[in-house]
Structure 1
Amino acid sequence: MYYELATMTLPFGTAAQAATNVQAYAAAPEAKGELLGCWFTDIGQLNQMIVLRGFADLGQLQAERERTQQSADPFGCGATFQSLEQHSYKGFPWMKPVRPSAESGISGPVYEIRTYGIKPGGVQATIDLWEQYVPPREALSPCVVAMVALDGPLRFTNIWSYATLDARSKARADAVAQGIWPPKGGPAHLTTAMTSTIALPTAVSPLK
């Protein structure tokens, strides 16, 4: 499964209309892929809308990227956003495709979006370690997706869902206490380029 993570920086007071426009843009007859998540940042870099879309193959993702690049009104927000970034990803091959909350049962409303830099040669080792360690970690909180970037610096992004911020803190502390997270040996393959954002679903987000 392939994914695009797009981030728009928006002016104050425009998030609700921007979300409606994103939904319409993703559902247009000529659009490829599927809208999966549409969040607004709450902790981290603020005033950002983060949009996750899924694609069955790389061709679909590339076609949709080209549509956006050629559009005079990308995401229906061309006259609104202050900046737009789009990044392409490939899901870890053993992970199930991301599905909306109504199908998967996965819901927040607190979502943590984490990105880690990967050292050269560390991609496959990271994928293998996560395959081993994510199942017990998911007993504490669901991993929505883990995916390797196809462009830009070598890195991977993982998204986790929690009922509350307190639930996030407890799950992370319990995972460490139980020795099931982080994956043993995993940090050796990562750089110090790490970011974390807490984001909440907008009204149009299929991941609630």
Structure 2
Amino acid sequence: MLYEIATLTVKLGTAAKAVAGIGDYVGAPEAKGTLLGCWANEIGELNQLLVLRSFGDHEAYRGERERALRTANPFNAGEAIAQMSFDTYVPFPFLPPVVPGKYGSVYEIRTYRLKHGGVPPTIAAWEAAMPERGKLSPLSIAMYALDGPPRFTHIWPFASLDARAAVRAESVARGVWPPKGGPDWLTGEMRSIIALPTAISPLA
């Protein structure tokens, strides 16, 4: 299983039209992969849409990447897209596949840069910590990147920003988060985005 996040920077005032195009594009007969999430950034870099898809194997993912790169109308939103980039991920192996559903009105998409060799100990730390952390709020997915600098991304749904703050405070107070030993493998470079599900997002 592979996951891809496509980051689409769209021109001002074109987000709604772009989302409609994305829905048609990923649902086309020739499309490969499964749409899991489509969010509009609310806090962080604005005028961005994030598209999360899963692929069963490298062949499917590569075919779909080629489809996007070889057209002047990627995601059926070429006129709206000012920039686009792609990140390819492998899920932490102990996690189940992403299951579409209604989990929260806001999503946090957080990325940490890792030190060299940080993938295995990070996975182990998360595997040990998630049984207790998961009781406080669900995790959509945690996954490490195959391209670019060593890093991993995790996606969490929350009912609201206030709920997010409360859960994070409780997890720290109870000593269940961050994962023990996990921060030892972080470089300190990190990014967090708060995004809202769009109308086509299976994760809502």
Count of residues in Structure 1 that have an aligned counterpart in Structure 2: 204
Deviation at 1:100, TM superposition (A): 1.1
Alignment pair present for 1:166 and 2:162: yes
* Structure 1 unmatched runs, 5+: none
Structure 1 stretches of at least 4 aligned residues deviating more than 6 Å after TM superposition: none
Equivalent residue for 2:9?
9
Q: Distance in 2 between matches of 1:202 and 1:6?
A: 15
* Structure 2 unmatched runs, 5+: none
Q: Distance in 1 between matches of 2:198 and 2:64?
A: 22
Q: Distance in 1 between matches of 2:154 and 2:203?
A: 15
Q: What does the per-residue CA deviation read over 1:98-149, in whole Å, with 9 as the maximum and x for residues that have no partner?
A: 1210xxxx51111000000010011000011111111211111111000110
* C-alpha RMSD of matched pairs (Å): 0.9
Equivalent residue for 1:115?
111
2:13 partner letter? G
Equivalent residue for 1:134?
130
2:47 partner letter? N
When structure 1 is superposed on structure 2, of 117-126 and 12-21 the one drifting more is 12-21
Deviation at 1:152, TM superposition (A): 0.5
Equivalent residue of 1:12, what SS?
Answer: coil
Q: 1:176 aligns with which of 172, 176, 184?
A: 172
Q: 1:151 aligns with which of 138, 147, 151?
A: 147
Q: Distance in 2 between matches of 1:193 and 1:63?
A: 32
TM-score w.r.t. the length of structure 1 is: 0.96
Equivalent residue for 2:202?
206
TM-score w.r.t. the length of structure 2 is: 0.98
Q: What does the per-residue CA deviation read over 1:171-196, in whole Å, with 9 as the maximum and x for residues that have no partner?
A: 00000000000011110111111000
Equivalent residue of 1:143, what SS?
Answer: coil
Deviation at 1:202, TM superposition (A): 0.5
Deviation at 1:78, TM superposition (A): 1.2
When structure 1 is superposed on structure 2, of 143-152 and 62-71 the one drifting more is 62-71
Q: Identity over the aligned pairs, expressed in percent? A: 54
Equivalent residues of 2:89, 2:146 under 8 A apart: yes
Q: What does the per-residue CA deviation read over 1:56-97, in whole Å, with 9 as the maximum and x for residues that have no partner?
A: 122211111111111221111111111101111111111111
Equivalent residues of 2:15, 2:80 under 8 A apart: no
Q: Distance in 2 between matches of 1:193 and 1:60?
A: 32
Deviation at 1:159, TM superposition (A): 0.2
Equivalent residue for 1:64?
64
2:155 partner letter? I
